[in-house]
Amino acid sequence: MRFEAISWERLADTVADRVDRAVPGDGSDWLKVGVDGAPAAPGGEFAERVAAVLRSRGRSVLVVATDGFLRPRSLRFEHGKQDPDAYYSDWYDTGALWREVFGPLEPGGSGRVLPDLWNPVTDRATRSPAVPLPPGGVLLLHGPFLLGHWYPFDLTLHLRLSPGALARRTEQSWTLPAFARYESEVGPADTADAVVRADDARRPAWTGWRDR
């Protein structure tokens, strides 16, 4: 896999250019973009950077973090608080993401997206109101383990960290086997439309867009 050095600013512009040329693959009125990466990667920051560029061009954008769709503690910690397999498959409420985020953006959908569902600190529902995303708007969803769920993304980027960088920058080291499993079972670097190497947060590099 060959990488080309690029700045975060130029990468955000490049992603926005691609979004501007894209057409929703499901025939809906909304583009869905996934920024996949471990919490140690700057996925949220980059998603917000892309959103700012798109908004400056007159596009409506909604940024959603999968951390707002964690399951309750009773389900996340059913097998203990540090179970990497549970972290990989049970922590994130994929059903709620389908229902509350992607469902409203299907053809004929309302466009009213729930930005978050569960507060992991209080372990209670956030009760956030749905946010209307007008036709022509863009959803930017960021978080770990996004690929492999058949989410209807029109464009995906995988923020890659080498095993060494991931280990150094991950505070909860017990989660590392979950990311190894993700690499083995899903192969995000082979699945995403582009891969961004983020070992050095100041000097990213990327593969460019894959032809599919």
Burial label for 77, CB within 10 Å (0-12, 13-18, 19+), is: middle
Beta bridge partners of 92: 70
Tell me the percentage of the chain whose pLDDT exceeds 90.
Answer: 95
Give residue 212's pLDDT: 59
Task: Give the distance from CA 69 to its chain's centroid.
Answer: 12
Give residue 201's pLDDT: 86
Q: Is the pLDDT of residue 104 over 90?
A: yes
Give residue 210's pLDDT: 87
Nearest-Å Rg of the Cα atoms of the chain is: 17
Give residue 211's pLDDT: 76
First to last CA, the chain: 16
pTM, entire model: 0.96
pLDDT tens digits, 149-200: 999 999 999 999 999 999 999 999 999 999 999 999 999 999 999 999 999 9
Phi–psi pair at 122, nearest 5 degrees: -85, -15
Residue for token digits 């989660």? 175
pLDDT tens digits, 65-93: 999 999 999 999 998 999 999 999 999 99
Burial 158-179 (b: 16+ CB within 10 A, else e): bbbbeeebbeeebeeeebeebb
Overall average pLDDT of the 130-136 stretch: 98
Nearest to 133 by CA among 48, 66, 60: 60
Overall average pLDDT of the 128-156 stretch: 97
Kindly tell me the number of DSSP H helices and DSSP E strands found in the chain: 8, 11
